[in-house]
Structures are given as structure tokens and as C-alpha cells.
Amino acid sequence: MLAFARQLGVEWIATNLLATQGSRLSEDLLRATSVQGRLGAMGGIGGPPGGPSGPWKEEELVGLLRRAEQAGMKVGNVMLHAFPHAVAGTAERDRDLENVRTSIRLAGRLGIPVVEYNFFSLRNVEGLHETPGRGGASYRAFDDARVRDRSPIMELGPRSEEETWANLRRFLDAAVPAAKEAGVRLALHPNDPPVPVYRGVAQPAASIAQWKRVVEYIPTPENGITFDTGVTGELNGDVPGLIRWFGARDCINHVHFRNVRTQEPALRYEETFVDEGQVDMVAALRALHETDYPRMVVPDHVPAVAGDTTKFGSWGYALGYMRGLMQSL
């Protein structure tokens, strides 16, 4: 994959690294929040869902950087490990928060410019399914009606939006000062699918108003978001307008560049090829250019092309489309 990406002109990569220290959440909870199916989606709590809770080990991150350098690229973004107790607000949250601070400081010392993170108790992967796409391709789709009556998981919920926001606020209070000290930008990935409540647990970053609430809580470039054009489209948001809103505040710290077709905002949509959904991708890239966005733009959630088990064709198509748009600005 690294060789393939470099041949197509990729210079920076975003990736993740699971640390080796395991979480002590119960086995039932980990089973409930670590679902990974053939659609390539996971549900979990904080960071790479269901993964260990850190902190990162220096030799592992150094090895990751070295592999990228050997392939002729640099690492521009690493997804933070899990911090499940901080997300859930349980008794061991302070341990998780200290692990987060330790990892952010390490990233800064090694020159990693952006640390991305998720903040959801549960990702609604149960509502994901496959649907036929253009010319026989296969798209990933979401329909909340498939799962909206599922019962809460006792160890997690129910939990209100204010309770989940209080936990996210406590995370920001700990992580943002560490990021400023380390010279690292944080990028909160929006909850995706962006359903407001799943199995009784409110999602704290599932609406445009909530994204704004995050960056306005501590207004500094280190406290930013991953601007996902797909999630924004899933909410029927004004993608170019919101890029300008967040860009004017210098808090877009990473970009996922993909397209969707939405039937019911947040609740029913399909993930299309980058050139055929409802989002005006030309206008989106132009807005990034006009706001002087200087960091990574990456393809995401590409469809499956019939006969291409590696998805190299789909990734190549998305990258070629993006490079063409960039060169036309």
C-alpha cells in the first residue's frame, strides 16, 4: 500500500498505532464495542475503537515514522489510542487522561504534527449495510431504522448529551494544554454515523452545532477538528460554507475528502464515489484553498469496485480525482 500510494504522488500519510497496554474494561463491554465486520467499520470507545488505552511506546512510533520515510513519505497524522474510561467517565478516567497527555507529548517530540481522535461511546455500525452502486460497484450505506429500537448496553447507558459533553470537556481540559506545550494539533473526528443517540447513549460530536461547541470551548488552533466532507454531507450541511467558518478560526486540522448521497439527514444515506454524490467537491476544495488550509487532505470510505479485492482501484480513482482538482485551482 505504501509503494502504491507513493507511485500515485502521495507525500504524507495518516495512520494509527495500537499500543500494547490493554484496557481493563470488562470483557462484555469490549465485545459489545469492538465489532468489526466485512464493511470495515468498528464501534467502540475513544480512539481506534475497542483498542488498548495507551500510552504510545516511543519505539513503536519511531518504527512507524521510519517505515514511512523508507517509502519516501512522511507521517502527518496518527490516530490516538483508545481512552475508554475518559469517554465513559468511569473511575479510571484520570489514568486514561494521563496516558493521552503522555502520548501527545511523545508525538510532539517526534515531530508528528497532528493527533486525531474519536470521542464516542458507541459507533452505530449495526446500521451499516451494503447497497448496489454505479455500474455494479458496492457502496456502504447507513439506515438508522435498522437499529433504532436496540436496547442500551447496561455498562454504558443511558447517558444524556450533557453527560457526554461533560466527559468531552474534561478530555479537552487535559489534552489541549498538553498539545499546545508539545506543538501538536488535535483533530476530533465527528461521530460517524452522526446519529444523535445510539443504544441510549448521546453522541457528543454528531452535529454541526456540537463541532462548533468543541472548538469554541477552548478557542485555539490546537483544539481543532477533522473536517469530513462526507459526514457534513450526511447532515445536509453547507460544506464550503462550513469550511470557511472553521477555516477562519484556524481549527481545521485534518480533512477527509469523500462524497455521500443523503436520503434523511444523519439517519439514512449512502457513501458514493467522490465525483457523484451531493457534495460539490470542487467548491469544497476551493474553500480549503481560499482559507489557506495547509495540512493533509485524504480520501476516505471509497466504494468497492467489482473484481477489485484490494480496493487499490477505488483509492487510485479518488486520489487521481483529488490531484486533478488541486492542479486546476
Tell me the domains of the chain and their CATH numbers: 2-328 (3.20.20.150)
Written as nine digits, the cell of 326 is 488541486
Give the strand pairing for 268-272 and 138-143.
Answer: antiparallel
Helix 161-182 × helix 93-109 angle, to 10°: 30
The pLDDT of residue 34 is 37
Phi, psi at residue 127, to the nearest 5°? -90, 0
**Strand ranges, E, within 105-251:** 114-117, 128-132, 138-143, 185-188, 197-198, 201-202, 223-228
The pLDDT of residue 280 is 98
Compute and round to an integer the Cα radius of gyration of the chain: 19
Please report which helix (H) or strand (E) contains residue 145, including its range.
Answer: none
**Strand ranges, E, within 44-195:** 74-79, 114-117, 128-132, 138-143, 185-188
Three-class SS state of 65 = helix
Phi, psi at residue 212, to the nearest 5°? -65, -40
The Cβ-side half-sphere exposure at 329, using a 13 Å CA radius, reads 16
In terms of C-beta density within 10 A (0-12 exposed, 13-18 middle, 19 or more buried), how is residue 273 classed?
buried
Residues whose CB is less than 8 angstroms from the CB of residue 306 and which lie 6 or more positions away in sequence, other chains included? 135, 136, 137, 138
The pLDDT of residue 85 is 86
260: β partners: 271
What are the Cα distances from residue 171, in Å, to 20, 95, 205?
22, 12, 13
Residues of the chain under the 70 pLDDT cut: 18-52, 154-155, 157
Three-class SS state of 154 = coil
The pLDDT of residue 121 is 75
How far is Cα 260 from Cα 38, in angstroms, rounded to an integer?
Answer: 20
- Cβ–Cβ contacts within 10 Å for residue 111, how many? 11
How far is Cα 208 from Cα 85, in angstroms, rounded to an integer?
Answer: 25
Each residue's pLDDT tens digit, 95-130: 999 999 999 999 999 999 999 999 987 788 889 999
In terms of C-beta density within 10 A (0-12 exposed, 13-18 middle, 19 or more buried), how is residue 6 classed?
middle
Count Cβ neighbours within 10 Å for each residue of 242-263 and write b for 16 or more, e otherwise: bbebbbebbbbbbbbbbbbbbe
